[in-house]
Amino acid sequence: MRTNEPSEGPTLQPGDLVDEAEAAAILGVNRKTVANWRWRGCGPRYFRVGRRLVRYHRADLAAFAAGDAA
């Protein structure tokens, strides 16, 4: 099961977290596709910042693209 909790590991650096539009560009899909994956619970891991903002970690996007997403 996916969680919205930060992963344990190295400290985040500027640019490590990206918004939905940039995540879609990195994965080569439409922004709506990323939103649909999130709604269905089958996309890359994401983090909520407050109630509305959603961010993706670049390492999670790379793992998802490589098929290594947990």
39 burial (CB, 10 Å; 0-12 / 13-18 / 19+) is exposed
Whole-number Å distance between alpha carbons of 21 and 30: 8
pLDDT tens string for the chain (70 positions)?
455 555 555 666 656 899 999 999 999 999 999 999 999 999 999 999 899 999 999 999 999 999 876 5
Q: With a threshold of 0.85, does the pTM exceed it?
A: no
Question: How confident is the model at residue 1, as a pLDDT?
Answer: 47
- Bin 35: left if φ > 0, else alpha if -120 < ψ < 50, else beta: alpha
Instruction: Give the pLDDT of residue 17.
Output: 92
